[in-house]
Amino acid sequence: MSELKLPTFADVVAASERIAGVAHATPVLTSSTADAELGAEVFFKCENFQRMGAFKFRGGYNALARFTPEQRKAGVVAFSSGNHAQAIALSARLMQIPATIVMPHDAPAAKVAATRGYGAQVVIYDRYTEDREQIGRDLAIKHGLTLIPPYDHADVIAGQGTAAKELFEEVGRLDYVFAPLGGGGLLSGTALATRALSPSAKLFGVEPEAGNDGQQSFRSGSIVHIDTPKTIADGAQTQHLGNITFPIIQRDVDDILTASDEELRAAMRFFAERMKMVVEPTGCLGFAAARAMNAQLQGKRVGIIISGGNIDIARYAELLAQ
Ligand SMILES: *Cc1c(COP(=O)(O)O)cnc(C)c1O
């Protein structure tokens, strides 16, 4: 077996230096209504206010900033229909690196337009008949591009960990931390920061109830693969954790929890009504899970990562109205 080198907190610190002045140091917001509801002191780290609308800019930018001159010249390729695509496209534009993004034919027009708007070349594939990883790998080989995956990459993980690092630096130690979980880039990065800066905090990853592969993996001790889950949390529709994210999660995370679509809608409504914030369904996972365990949080200091705010406005209105 090949040696897998896991990123460490030192890599998170290095990432925070690379993204300084480029990524936003997003605000940590509080809500007396949330505090009263949970009987706790709640700190929301608001990555919905990050550049391009989600924490993914941190990992994408950090990964590209580590390219050699040769890699920069040849360019980057990524496959994603969501926030990772925009993160890579924007980071590449800022560093003048050519970017190719492989997106499914049924990706929302707004997301394709946003990715093109950042200057990336978009390659469309048919999600039912073609294999995006194969297309990505073929492009990488043919044009000498470097492939940056959405979560299972040490530089991506280290970049994502900078959000939690900023949270602890701003508010100090916490008793509980909640982070959304898809493929585990955000959660494993958050874990590195938590174990270094607030070691005794209980750290929970939260995934959609319909796709609890992470919970199954965590509890069984090996990576479980599932079919693409049906959930409104489209940023966490991943089918499995990664070979790098899983061992970090196993080592440093206390448990994986789930939230239902109904709980996500209720949390979206809370953020809209009480905090005047647009949060995408996936971004609501942490708060939804914290609300469900309220008695346990009495008198505690609780950190919640709101991971993103990208949602089509008509879809947003529809979900709030349900
Ligand atoms: C990608 C994404 C997630 C999940 O992140 P992973 O690193 O895949 O676990 C959560 N929320 C939002 C908004 C995302 O874009």
Residue bearing the CA closest to ligand 1, atom 14: 235
Q: How many residues does the chain have?
A: 322
* Pair (111, 92) in one structural domain: yes
Q: Is 255 a catalytic residue?
A: no
Q: 93 Cβ partners below 8 Å, 6+ apart?
A: 99, 118, 119, 120
Assess whether the C-beta atom of 286 lies below 6 angstroms from ligand 1.
Answer: no
* Pair (109, 164) in one structural domain: no
How far from each other are the two terminal CA atoms of the chain, in whole angstroms?
50
SS (H, E, C) 273-318: HHHCCCCCHHHHHHHHHHHHCHHHHCCCEEEEEECECCCCHHHHHH
Catalytic residue among 16, 80, 198, 307: 307
* Pair (160, 224) in one structural domain: yes
Q: Is 207 a catalytic residue?
A: yes
Q: What is the dihedral of CA 315, 235, 81, 72, to 10 degrees?
A: 140
* Pair (95, 16) in one structural domain: no
Ligand 1 centroid distance, CA of 229 (Å): 15
Assess whether the C-beta atom of 52 lies below 6 angstroms from ligand 1.
Answer: no
CA gap 93, 48 in Å, rounded: 21
* Pair (279, 263) in one structural domain: yes
Ligand 1 centroid distance, CA of 181 (Å): 6
What pTM does this model have? 0.96
- Domain extent for 76: 57-147
- Looking from the CA of residue 180, the nearest atom of ligand 1 is 10
Ligand 1 centroid distance, CA of 220 (Å): 23
CA gap 208, 173 in Å, rounded: 27
Q: Quick check: 79 and 131 in contact, CB under 8 A?
A: no
Assess whether the C-beta atom of 53 lies below 6 angstroms from ligand 1.
Answer: no
pLDDT tens by residue, the chain, 322 residues: 456 789 999 999 999 999 999 999 999 999 999 999 999 999 999 999 999 999 999 999 999 999 999 999 999 999 887 899 999 999 999 999 999 999 988 887 878 888 999 999 999 988 778 888 888 889 999 999 999 999 999 999 999 999 999 999 999 999 999 999 999 999 999 999 999 999 999 999 999 999 999 999 999 999 999 988 899 999 898 899 999 999 999 999 999 999 999 999 999 999 999 999 999 999 999 999 999 997 899 999 999 999 999 998 999 999 999 8
Residue bearing the CA closest to ligand 1, atom 7: 185
Ligand 1 centroid distance, CA of 236 (Å): 6
Q: Is 155 a catalytic residue?
A: no
| Domain final position from 147, 169, 197 | 147
Query: Is 1 within a domain?
Result: no
Q: Which DSSP state fits 174?
A: -
Query: Is 81 within a domain?
Result: yes
Neighbours of 172 (CB within 10 A): 11
Residue 103 sits in a domain whose CATH number is 3.40.50.1100
* Pair (173, 124) in one structural domain: no
Q: Which has the closest alpha carbon to 315: 284, 278, 288, 287?
A: 278
Query: Is 3 within a domain?
Result: no
CA gap 31, 266 in Å, rounded: 16
Assess whether the C-beta atom of 187 lies below 6 angstroms from ligand 1.
Answer: yes
* Pair (181, 283) in one structural domain: yes
* Pair (191, 245) in one structural domain: yes
- For residue 1, the model assigns a pLDDT of 45
* Pair (79, 109) in one structural domain: yes
Q: Is 81 a catalytic residue?
A: yes
DSSP labels, 34-80: HHHHHTSEEEEEEGGGSGGGBTHHHHHHHHHHT--HHHHHH-EEEE-
Assess whether the C-beta atom of 183 lies below 6 angstroms from ligand 1.
Answer: yes
Neighbours of 303 (CB within 10 A): 29
* Pair (158, 67) in one structural domain: no
CA gap 3, 154 in Å, rounded: 13
* Pair (186, 262) in one structural domain: yes
| Domain final position from 97, 126, 147 | 147
| Domain final position from 118, 147, 176 | 147
